[in-house]
Amino acid sequence: MTDAVLVVNAGSTSLKFAAYAAAAGGGAPLLCRGVVDSMTTGPQFVAKTPEGKPIDAHEWGEGQAIDHKTALKFIVAWLERHEADIRVVAAGHRVVLGGTRFAAPVVVTPEVLDYLDGLAAMEPSHQAFNVRGARALAEEFPHLPQVAAFDTSFHRTMPEVAQVYALPKAARDTGVRHWGYHGISYDYISREVPKHAPDARRVIVAHLGGGASVCAMLDGKSIETSMAFAGLTGLPMATRAGDVPADVIFYLLRSGAYTEATLEKALYGEAGLLGLSGLSSDMRMLQDSADPGARLAVDYFVYCLVKFIGAYAALLGGLDALVFTAGIGENSAVVRAAVLARLEWLGLTVDAAANAANGPRISTADSKAAAFVIPTDEELMIARHTLALVKPA
């Protein structure tokens, strides 16, 4: 019998999962991963091997709808039926916001979920759905231990001056502060960097995917990150605007061009690469296009990335290593080359052949600083945290 940890990333209409074996010695080899998507319109289940080969699929039917509890019950039953001698003994959840209470993963209790639910107004895109997944699993499997791992926890090492905004105390007392996100990914990368650059103390990591951010690390600890209060700010992203001046928001509302609801929808879902290009939110399409809008979107993305990296190098007092990770970071040689071309003053010179091959080291041997492509693995990080807190019987 193989004990397994189920890792869950619950969204509004989809639920991603991965299963890891609770191996002896603290290892957690991946067994499979998959998703239940289109939960409100025509739910579909797909599972794949660790190599990405399809294993199984299931459809509930067009026009059908299922909730998180139904999806999770199906996943657990499928795992224990399909994977020989599997017993799901614990579950780990990605939860974006841990608030001031949780600077590390925590065992889930009803009281913990109530607190996390209370933070949903701060981060409206993911928080409530992440918590809903944990509640649903607890209702269906009340004796299954669960752990919540937070995207904000890694950034609680930032100095206090980096976690506050110049707002009146009354505003700050509502919970407004610089939280920082993608922390599970940065946690994983911070543990991988020493394998590539054991002497690197001053490290900047660019997590570039559909959501994108940059993190400055000193001795493996976050000291600053670009994504701020919720999931909207910092770098431009696939459909999210990134940094927009506050006075622009007031102007757009005063002008009558947007309501609060339509402006929030535009900033989260119609802006970023999609908004600038007018074509697509997919960097692969944009970097291969000669369309002026596509070029503008790519150039703006690179510009903002260089701006943050330069600022963070100043905070760190220099740079030992720059890491690219996540979908764009791991796969776009075009973006990486454009960024590194503007960072030669930091001692970075791109190795064109290594960059085209996606690394791992993409800077020349004589560069004063090093640049790397290091694939992230947030699900594995959650599995490890879960196993550290929940010891299978």
Neighbour-count burial of 170, counting CB atoms closer than 10 A to its CB (0-12 exposed, 13-18 middle, 19+ buried): exposed
Q: So which residues are the catalytic ones?
A: 151
Nearest Cα to 226, choosing from 210, 203, 245, 205? 205
Largest CA distance in the chain: 64
Distance between CA atoms of residues 207 and 186, nearest Å: 8
204: part of which helix (H) or strand (E)?
A: strand 202-208
What is the arrangement of strands in the sheet containing 106-107, beginning at the earlier edge strand? 54-59, 44-48, 30-37, 15-21, 2-10, 86-95, 146-150, 106-107
Check: CB of residue 223 under 8 Å from CB of residue 162.
yes
Cross-strand bridge partners of residue 146 = 91
Distance between CA atoms of residues 100 and 110, nearest Å: 18
Structure tokens at 362: 């993409």
186: part of which helix (H) or strand (E)?
A: helix 183-196
